[in-house]
Structure 1
């Protein structure tokens, strides 16, 4: 198959793939009671980054900067997918198992878990103002703050770690600004699986959802239809039932502005101009991305070969497959294997 054919097919599938990324990002209104206990030795600080245009006057993204004892000089900036907020990274995949952040802290990494605009503790601008462009710009402004000092800390290495739509944000920020050390893309590839077209039909106004209606979501804020997340985001054989139930009860939103720009993260030029090292991580049973006509997710080599048609630069490109996992890779029983691979890879590329 020719490169031009692959690029054309990837472009044609981009809207569905973007929709899947958005859906995966969509889970969690932030309630402190839902946060799992954190080891006492980890020091966490609530941070705010006031945004300049195009996010709108007065818009702020908020997050939590957490540093373990004897932290190394790398910070992981964690970006969730649509309908998730920052808790996607702090929730354990099953009772007694560590979250992504817990495993990162155990390896000496500082983490910055961000609530995207419209989610968690961040501002909720009008829905049409919350687009892929404003999301990427908010990440860039956050990276700039980290470079100059945030909560009294600066870092030698900034690594963007995204999931689904959040992975698209990470890729775009790095490609457009070339100001981070490396990028980790989970639940993200330039292909769509058999359920990729099911994302948008599963969306309803958040004001009509029994979980989110009490939070008074603005017009144009959307969420997943009640009971749909298990089929979209999980491989049930590899997921704890309580985790799926919690996901439904802590889901968050996406906006009509994000919906209308869902193909933007998959623009081929974002991959082509990437200079920083990239790790792509997918669950083998991710039906939003894998199992379609272009990408089976049968092995890291298959993913890397397929994506190299789009990542045409000389940057390092690696891939990883978590066996049996669905789209929300952090929330499956064997997620610790993925956490370990991410930490090993980041240590390798940062030296």
Structure 2
């Protein structure tokens, strides 16, 4: 009932002009697996103890939480959705955006609130004439749930994005998805921006341009995010949804912690915060701790790059993004162009604020100007 009321209050009178095909696809990937130097948590006291260690003032010079890496080969089922404008009868000729979500969400972040929602990025993108391909990163949404200690790590998530992109480009991702003849862009959010950035650093030919939302390359304040979650064990925090999950899956405590991390008051609807809190997904300790091991030097990427974050982004800007995003420019020396934009009245959860449509307009204008 709560979800229906939310939908009616926000989306009355909206017109849906896109169509989507949902599917699962099997991907096989090879990537380094960093072996934890800590034992799997037996209880929440141990997860908080690790949090103490990795956020201590000497953490950068202390012992690594990992004892080395081994290469592993894994196969996953990935849940994805391909959307096109309803009016377009030749979707293969559309430019396409591959959308990668962040921590705490699944791919529904890109269609937040449903098809007719004012917060629905897919709706804005298809209205602008793009097709979109969104997917659930491993252990989120309808994708395979994996070991959060040894498999759900940044290199494995990056490998999944690389395979999805390659198979989409060669027309083998699924029978319902045509091989594209237009350009293929990557749009990421938060951790999804880390992966999109790493994609063009490791394999620049796979993308025709990237948009990195809710992101900067300054990690000074990531510890504040970690501390704010208190590494709550997801199986204890939400036993009805995640009671069967490993202790390596963690989350934040409640709606107020969600607000602290993702929202800028008073620039959001409290109903949006409540809805977001009931649709969260846990993240793995290891994917957070391996975020820095993927490549970031995108010296060979010559395509367009837009980095856009909310002015009050806590995680990547310490709640003030002015003068922060530009620091990434040396990592994209050949990008044409490299642009940054700070969206006013917006926290880390860019799609969840009143002016989400303004964020979408900046992104879509950038892509149109650089197509």
**Shorter-chain TM-score category?**
0.7 to 0.9
Deviation readout 1:92-124 (Å, 9 max, x if unpaired): 49x962411111111111111110000000001
| Distance (whole Å) between structure 1 residues aligned to residue 365 and residue 250 of structure 2 | 36
Contact 1:92 1:100 in 2 (8 A): no
In 1, distance between residues paired with 2:163 and 2:357?
31
- Contact 2:29 2:75 survives alignment (8 Å): no
1:232 aligns with one of 242, 255, 261? 261
How far did 1:54 drift? Answer: 2.7
Contact 1:79/1:163, CA 8 A, preserved across alignment: yes
* CA RMSD between the two structures: 2.8
Higher relative contact order (CA 8 A, sep 6+): 1
Whether 2:93 is the aligned partner of 1:66: answer no
Q: Residue 153 of structure 2 is aligned with which of 109, 122, 131?
A: 131
Q: Is the 8 A contact 1:170 1:183 kept in 2?
A: yes
Equivalent position SS for 1:169:
helix
Q: Deviations over 1:102-151 (max 9, x none)?
A: 11111111111110000000001111211111101101111111111142
SS in 2 for 1:135: helix
| 1:78-89 equivalences in 2 (<5 Å) | 78-89=99-110
Which residue of the partner structure matches residue 140 of structure 2?
A: 119
* Cα shift at 1:304: 5.7
Q: CA offsets per residue over residues 200-225 of structure 1, 9 Å max, x none?
A: 23121111112664562234112222
Distance 1:172 1:51, change over 3 A: same
The CA deviation at 1:43 is 2.0
In the alignment, which residue of structure 1 is the partner of 2:193?
A: 167
Shift of the 39–288 alpha-carbon distance from structure 1 to 2, 3 Å rule, reads same
Q: Normalising to structure 2: TM-score of the pair?
A: 0.76
Structure 1, unaligned runs of 5 or more: 1-30
Given candidates 205, 208, 222, the residue that maps to 1:181 is 208
Q: Which has the larger radius of gyration?
A: 2
Cα deviation for residue 83 of structure 1 reads 1.2
Give the structure 2 partner of residue 317 of structure 1: 338
TM-score (norm: length of structure 1): 0.80
Equivalent position to 1:146, from 164, 168, 173: 168
SS in 2 for 1:280: strand
* Contact map agreement 1:35 1:91 (CA 8 A) in 2: no
Helix, strand or coil at the partner of 2:307: strand
The separation in 2 between residues aligned to 1:291 and 1:152, in whole angstroms, is: 40
What are the Cα deviations for residues 281-315 of structure 1, in whole angstroms up to 9, with x where unaligned?
A: 010111222247xxx423xxx45642223323354
Moved over 6 A (4+): 31-38
